[in-house]
Amino acid sequence: MNKYISLLFCLCSLVILPLEAQSLLTPEQLAKREKRKNLIVKEWNTDSKSNTRWLDRVKVYDSQGRCVEEIEYASYGQRWRVTSQYNDTTGKVVEEVEYNDRNRPTRIKRYEWNADGTKAKQYNYLPNGKLYSVKVYEYTFTDK
């Protein structure tokens, strides 16, 4: 009987864990995401003397209100670009790819997350896929 209870507990935790991860978002964060669904935000700069405008930055949001692409421009064109991929069950970023001004990948970041929604590790890869560094996040709370 205990085997069945522990099996049932394991199956329930597999179903409930993704729901708990999504519930880590506050109502304010959920409302912000709702407003950003399928949104494209363009930031423009304007010269005060000549009134000429130029594109500074573009952010693209997906159907769930998550930023999937951000591009910064300079006078010569694209300065850099970052694309993000998300885990469908947790809603957390699992991979970011950074591109240079020639739209070539310069760095790939992959993330691992703790069960409480905090970042655990960041793996940094070269464009050829070779791992070159790992960043580990440590969270310490003090009683002050």
Tell me how far apart the alpha carbons of residues 21 and 84 are, in angstroms, rounded to a whole number: 19
Q: What is the pLDDT of residue 13?
A: 44
Using an 8 Å Cβ cutoff, are 89 and 18 in contact? yes
> Which amino acid is it at 71?
I
pLDDT by 10s per residue, the chain, length 144? 444 444 444 444 444 444 444 457 788 888 888 888 989 999 999 989 998 899 999 999 999 999 999 999 998 899 999 999 999 888 899 999 999 999 999 999 999 999 998 999 999 999 999 999 999 999 998 987
Pair of tokens at residue 35: 């407003």
> Which amino acid is it at 91?
G
Q: Which CATH number fits domain 2-136: 3.30.70, 1.10.3470, 2.40.128, 2.60.40?
A: 2.40.128
**SS3 of 37, please?**
coil
CB atoms within 10 A of CB 71: 19
Q: What is the pLDDT of residue 77?
A: 92
Q: ∠ CA(122), CA(128), CA(132), 5° rounding?
A: 40
Alpha-helical runs (H) found in the chain: 2-22, 27-35
